[in-house]
Chain A
Amino acid sequence: MLAVETSDLTRKFGEFTAVNKLNLAIRRGSIYGFLGPNGSGKSTTIRMLCGLLKPTAGTGTVMGLDIGQDSEQIKSQIGYMSQKFSLYDDLTVSENLAFYAGMYDLPADAARRKIQEMLELAHLADSKNELAANLSGGYKQRLALGCAILHKPPILFLDEPTGGVDPKSRRMFWDIIYALADAGSTVMVTTHFMDEAEHCDAIGFIYEGNLIADDSPHKLKMSLPGIFITIPADNPMELMQQLAEERLPALDIYPHGASVRILTEEKTLGYYRRFAYQITSPSLEDVFVYYVKNRRQEAPR
């Protein structure tokens, strides 16, 4: 059973296509990482799934409900945390929680219990009487998460929840996300942090509105057509120049700190024997750089 399924989901703003023919399939109970550079259409996609924006073309379902027709029913099924803090600055932490408990129609005693639970879960008990405006970034995000999961939604959309958050809060965030997924919730989360992406069950990579890669982190790394090697160099640019002049076979080549990273087919590895190279397992970043370059060659914009 899929928690989210879209077919050719598209959103245009005037002439500009923010999201282009997206086909997503997110398994129930999984953590789906949604990655992409700034302006690539992550927020727009999530907003369409939450019913905040109407798709201009294509269809989709969330928990089996159609995002076009059943958008109101979907709303009681989802938790949403927007990229920009959108709780009430002039309410305190517990007032914000109580407000959203009311919005999700929780009975009084359940609400009280849930609010307490959220205060503890998000480590906010000490600042429950603080105005939201006075909270620091990490606290604000934790409060927003608390408000989004208060009603135990089967699916959670988190739009860059850890942007501008200190490492400790970030850790706490992911602990909560794991716990929710273990309890059976589906989580779709956007992030810019590659280490966070590594922890997801599946990753979608969106670039200029197009989904250019979509699989588990492991399979994505395996999908590269070759092996990554690293050659240490005091002057990486000089080395790259030299490699280019010698026309050594490479699928991809780029400087990386005090070294050069090269993607090459296994059978051509011998050409590099004279360099003191090391075989390194590709990072997700390597994967995305490769896919983006590939994409650019296929379909230049």
Chain B
Amino acid sequence: MRRLRALLLKEFIQMKRDRLTFAMMVGLPIIQLLVFGFAINTDVKHLSTVVFDQSLQQESRDLLGAFTASEYFDIKYTARSYQEVADIIEQGKAKVGIIIPPDFSDSIKHSRSAAVQVIVDASDSMAASSAISTAQLIGQLKSEEILVKKLQAAGAQKPARPYDIRIRPWYNPDLVSAFYMVPGILGIILTMTMVMITSMAIVRERERGTLEQLIVTPLKSYELMLGKIIPYIFVGYIQATLALAVGIVVFDLPMQGSLALLYGLTTLFIVASLALGILISTVTRTQMQAMQLSFFIFLPSILLSGFMFPREAMPDFFRMIGYLLPLTYYLEIMRGIVLKGVGVSFLWTQILALCVFITVMLTVSILKFQKRLV
């Protein structure tokens, strides 16, 4: 116990003195979450729009007003010909063109269907699909509005609950949302920092030469491993807490499930990542190798865990590899607790998987680590 205590104390002192690294461990999750969160944010608003209004009547202004009010379209240019609309879009000044025919108002007044043309630059598919669906929705709503007015004018009763003018605040064809991303990003951040820190832990002592003095003492291998893991659980907590706070404050992350359960299982994931790092640290000889091996873990973690791509759609081989990564289980846990509010009874498989992972990693590390120099 005294040995472990001395080891922990030493790690904390070193962590405290290495301000830069500590600042990075704390600052990184916030920055990454913000960058990732906004970059992957699929909520596409304020598309630059050019309008060719040939009608210039009350009705057409009304329709354009609806487009502007949706916040998806910013009318920046007014064109005087088809050609001008085409040019502006081609030059990339506008992503959307709206063309209202000369007989727009007449058609509405005479209850003929009025054809409004919306041209979308689809080279940015996310923006395009967003624009298309919003435009369709506006068209639909406007038609209903006019229909209702007409009915009212014809003497019908005002419907009990008039149509809902609100447009869905956001459009998300692939069910990818900031909500959905934030738990994943948290997992990625934890994987990256935890694996990276511990993968350096033992090789760094080896490279600096301090390991030589350390291993002529009666220190046990498992004590060394624990001494390198425990301090970073706290760092993991700080990161998780910061990331969750950013998620809730900036991205309106709903916190459906139990916070205690979330923290409990986050601990499990942190330990799993640290154990993986420790294993890397015992099989490598230099910090450079450790770094490379860590990156070798990150790539599959990002691609195969279900963070980027749905695992259901993966070929079997890659899906199986995903099962070897702690992040895969943690994502299921996080999304379950944060988004769906599930309890521990739904998460046993994942918990068990993480426990097995930790046991295997630590056992192999302890067996693999020789208290020798070469």
Interface residues of A (CB under 8 A from B): 47, 50-54, 71-72, 75-76, 78, 80, 82, 84-91, 95, 98-107, 144, 147
Contact = CB atoms under 8 A, between A and B. Distances in A.
Given A91-B14, A99-B10, A72 B218 contact: yes
B218 A104 contact: yes
A53 B371 CA distance: 9
Highest count of chain B CB atoms <10 Å: which of A72, A89, A99, A102: A102
B209 A90 contact: no
Contacts of A84: 209, 212
A57 B260 CA distance: 57
B167 interface: no
B374 A53 contact: yes
A53 B373 contact: yes
A51 B216 contact: yes
Highest count of chain A CB atoms <10 Å: which of B3, B214, B218: B218
B3 A47 contact: no
B209 A85 contact: yes
Contacts of B209: 82, 84-86
A82 B6 contact: no
Interface string B202-237: 000000111111111111000000000000000000
Given A90-B14, A103-B3, A104-B218, A47 B373 contact: yes
Interface string B355-374: 00000000000000001111
A52 B215 contact: yes
22 contacts: A50-B216, A51-B371, A52-B212, A52-B215, A52-B372, A54-B372, A75-B217, A76-B218, A80-B216, A82-B213, A84-B212, A86-B210, A86-B211, A86-B212, A99-B9, A101-B6, A102-B3, A102-B6, A103-B214, A103-B217, A104-B218, A147-B213
B13 interface: yes
A51 B372 contact: yes
A43 to B, nearest CB: 10
B366 to A, nearest CB: 14
A102 B7 contact: yes
Contacts of B216: 50-52, 75, 78, 80
Contact of A99 (B6, B17, B218): B6
- The contact size tier of chain B is 20 to 34
Nearest to A53: B373
Nearest to A54: B372
Interface string B181-219: 000000000000000000000000000111111111111
A212 B270 CA distance: 56
Contacts of B211: 86
Nearest to A72: B218
A53 B372 CA distance: 6
A86 B14 contact: no
B5 interface: yes
B216 to A, nearest CB: 4
B164 interface: no
B152 to A, nearest CB: 79
A182 to B, nearest CB: 24
A54 B373 CA distance: 9
B161 interface: no
A72 to B, nearest CB: 7
Contacts of B374: 53
B18 interface: yes
Interface in B9-36: 9-10, 13-14, 17-18
Contacts of B5: 102
B2 interface: yes
A91 B10 contact: yes
Nearest to A100: B217
A124 B13 CA distance: 21
A53 B373 CA distance: 6
A51 B212 CA distance: 10
Nearest to A85: B209
B6 A103 contact: yes
Nearest to B16: A90
Nearest to B17: A90
Contacts of A80: 213, 216
